[in-house]
Amino acid sequence: MARLLEVNNLKTYFFTDEGVVRAVNGVSWHLDEGETLALVGESGSGKSVTAMSILRLIPNPPGRIVDGTVLFEGKDLLKMSDSEMRSIRGNRIAMVFQEPMTSLNPVLTVGAQIREALQLHLGLDEDGANARAVELLELVGIPEADQRIKDYPHQFSGGMRQRVMIAMALSCNPKLLIADEPTTALDVTIQAQVLEIMARLATELNTAVLVITHNLGVVARYADRVNVMYAGEIVESGSAIEVFKRPRMPYTVGLMASVPRLDATEKVRLATIEGQPPLLIQEIQGCPFRPRCDWAIDKCATDHPELEEKEPGHWARCHRNPQTDERTRMPAGAAAAGN
Amino acid sequence: MTIQTQTQSSKAYESTVKHGETLVDVQGLKMYFPVTAGLFIQRKVADVRAVDGLDFKVTKGETLGLVGESGCGKSTTGRALLQLYRPTAGTVNFGGTELTKLKGTELRRFRRRMQMIFQDPFSSLNPRMSVGQIIGEPLAIHGLYKGAERRERIQYILQAVGLNPTFARRYPHEFSGGQRQRIGIGRALAVEPEFIVCDEPVSALDVSIQAQVINLLEDLQGQFGLTYLFIAHDLAVVRHISDRVAVMYLGRMMELADRNELYENPLHPYTKALLSAVPITDPELERKRERIILTGDVPSPLRPPPGCVFNTRCPIAVDECRERVPEWREMAPNHFVACHRV
Ligand SMILES: Nc1ncnc2c1ncn2[C@@H]1O[C@H](COP(=O)(O)OP(=O)(O)OP(=O)(O)O)[C@@H](O)[C@H]1O
Ligand SMILES: Nc1ncnc2c1ncn2[C@@H]1O[C@H](COP(=O)(O)OP(=O)(O)OP(=O)(O)O)[C@@H](O)[C@H]1O
Ligand SMILES: [Mg+2]
Ligand SMILES: [Mg+2]
* % pLDDT > 70, chain A: 96
Does residue B139 sit within a domain?
yes
Instruction: Give the pLDDT of residue B206.
Output: 80
Q: How far is CA B178 from the centre of its chain?
A: 19
Residues of B in contact with A336 (CB under 8 A): 1-3, 215, 219
Element (H, E) at B177: helix B177-189
Is residue A45's pLDDT more than 60?
Answer: yes
Total domains, chain B: 2
Domain limits at B30? 10-36+45-113+193-337
pLDDT tens string B91-120: 999 999 999 999 988 898 888 999 999 877
Nearest ligand atom owner, CA of B246: 2
The C-alpha atoms of residue B152 and residue A187 are separated, in whole angstroms, by: 43
Name B194's Cβ contacts closer than 8 Å, sequence gap at least 6. Answer: B15, B17, B23, B60, B95, B113, B114, B225, B226, B227
Instruction: Give the pLDDT of residue A170.
Output: 81
CATH number at residue B272: 3.40.50.300
CA-nearest of B174, B239, B245, B185 to B216 is B185
Instruction: Give the pLDDT of residue B5.
Output: 39
Instruction: Give the pLDDT of residue B71.
Output: 85
> B212: phi > 0 → left, psi -120 to 50 → alpha, else beta; which?
alpha
CA angle, corner A310, sides to A307 and A314, nearest 5?
Answer: 80
Contact B299, B312 (CB under 8 A): yes
Give chain B's mean pLDDT.
Answer: 90
What angle separates helix A158-170 from helix A126-139, to the nearest 10 degrees? 130
Q: What mean pLDDT is predicted for residues B172-184?
A: 86
Element (H, E) at B214: helix B207-224
Confidence grade of residue B250 (pLDDT, cut at 50, 70, 90): very high
The C-alpha atoms of residue A176 and residue A92 are separated, in whole angstroms, by: 7
Same domain for B108 and B253: yes
Last residue of a domain, one of B173, B189, B205: B189
Nearest ligand atom owner, CA of B69: 2
Contact A220, A239 (CB under 8 A): no
Name A82's Cβ contacts closer than 8 Å, sequence gap at least 6. Answer: none
Same domain for B319 and B214: yes
Instruction: Give the pLDDT of residue A135.
Output: 87
Same domain for B204 and B159: no
Instruction: Give the pLDDT of residue B61.
Output: 96
pLDDT tens string B32-74: 998 877 777 777 778 899 999 999 999 999 999 999 988 899 9
Least confident of A87-101, A301-315, B274-288: A87-101
Strands B252-258, B89-94: pairing kind:
unpaired
Same domain for B81 and B158: no
Same domain for B284 and B162: no
The SS3 call for residue B146 is: coil
Instruction: Give the pLDDT of residue A145.
Output: 87
The C-alpha atoms of residue A252 and residue A321 are separated, in whole angstroms, by: 12
Smallest Cβ distance to A258: which of B211, B293, B298? B211
Instruction: Give the pLDDT of residue B162.
Output: 84
Q: Which residue has better confidence, A240 or A205?
A: A240
Confidence grade of residue A338 (pLDDT, cut at 50, 70, 90): very low
Most A CBs within 10 Å, among B1, B161, B206, B207, to test the A interface? B207
Instruction: Give the pLDDT of residue B14.
Output: 64
Is residue B2's pLDDT more than 70?
Answer: no
Confidence grade of residue B12 (pLDDT, cut at 50, 70, 90): low
pLDDT tens string B162-176: 888 888 999 988 887
Does residue B102 sit within a domain?
yes
Is residue A29's pLDDT more than 70?
Answer: yes
Residue B289 DSSP symbol: -
The C-alpha atoms of residue B76 and residue B84 are separated, in whole angstroms, by: 9
Same domain for B180 and B213: no
Does residue B4 sit within a domain?
no
Residues of A in contact with B285 (CB under 8 A): 263
The SS3 call for residue A156 is: coil
- 8 Å CB contact of A261 and B280: yes
Nearest ligand atom owner, CA of A185: 2
ipTM: 0.84
Does residue B76 sit within a domain?
yes
Quick check: B208 contacting A, CB < 8 Å? Answer: yes
Residues whose beta carbon lies within 6 Å of some atom of ligand 2: B 33, 48, 50, 68, 70-76, 233, 301
Does residue B311 sit within a domain?
yes
The SS3 call for residue A287 is: coil
Confidence grade of residue A333 (pLDDT, cut at 50, 70, 90): low
Total residue count of chain A as it appears in this document: 339
- 8 Å CB contact of B223 and A339: yes
Does residue B168 sit within a domain?
yes
Does residue B296 sit within a domain?
yes
Same domain for B293 and B228: yes
pLDDT tens string A47-67: 999 999 999 999 989 999 999
Confidence grade of residue A105 (pLDDT, cut at 50, 70, 90): confident
Contacts 24+ apart (CB under 8 A), A200-204: A201/A139, A201/A166, A201/A170, A202/A34, A202/A36, A202/A170, A202/A177, A203/A34
Contact A262, B278 (CB under 8 A): yes
Q: Which amino acid is at B159?
A: Q
Contact B307, B323 (CB under 8 A): yes
Contact B235, B310 (CB under 8 A): no
Using a 6 Å cutoff on CB, does residue A59 contact ligand 1? yes
pLDDT tens string B288-338: 998 888 877 788 888 899 999 999 999 999 999 999 999 999 999 999 999
Confidence grade of residue B4 (pLDDT, cut at 50, 70, 90): very low
Is residue A102's pLDDT more than 70?
Answer: no
Q: Which residue has better confidence, B147 or A71?
A: A71
Does residue B169 sit within a domain?
yes
> B120: phi > 0 → left, psi -120 to 50 → alpha, else beta; which?
beta
Rg of chain A's alpha carbons, rounded to an integer? 21
Element (H, E) at B217: helix B207-224
The C-alpha atoms of residue A104 and residue A162 are separated, in whole angstroms, by: 10
What is the full DSSP assignment across B18-61?
Answer: PTTSEEEEEEEEEEEEEEEE-SSS-EEEEEEEEEEEEEEEEETT
Same domain for B226 and B98: yes
pLDDT tens string A152-162: 988 887 778 88
Last residue of a domain, one of B158, B189, B220: B189
* % pLDDT > 70, chain B: 96
Residue A194 DSSP symbol: H
Q: What mean pLDDT is predicted for residues A240-251?
A: 97
Q: What mean pLDDT is predicted for residues A69-94?
A: 93
**Interface subset of B 24-83, CB within 8 angstroms of A:** 69-70
B247 - beta bridge partners?
B67, B255
Q: Residue B278: what are its φ and ψ, rounded to 5°?
A: -90, 115
Q: How far is CA B28 from the centre of its chain?
A: 18
Same domain for B304 and B166: no
- 8 Å CB contact of B208 and A42: yes
Size of interface A-B (CB pairs under 8 A): 145
Same domain for B16 and B53: yes
Instruction: Give the pLDDT of residue A222.
Output: 95
Same domain for B264 and B201: yes
Instruction: Give the pLDDT of residue A336.
Output: 45
Q: What mean pLDDT is predicted for residues B60-89?
A: 94
Same domain for B290 and B182: no
Q: Which amino acid is at A179?
A: A
CA-nearest of A1, A112, A267, A85 to B258 is A267
The C-alpha atoms of residue B214 and residue A257 are separated, in whole angstroms, by: 13
- 8 Å CB contact of B279 and A217: yes
Task: Measure CA of the first residue to CA of the last residue in chain B; give whole Å.
Answer: 47
Last residue of a domain, one of B189, B210, B242: B189
Instruction: Give the pLDDT of residue A160.
Output: 81
Highest mean pLDDT range out of A15-19, B247-251, B294-298?
B247-251
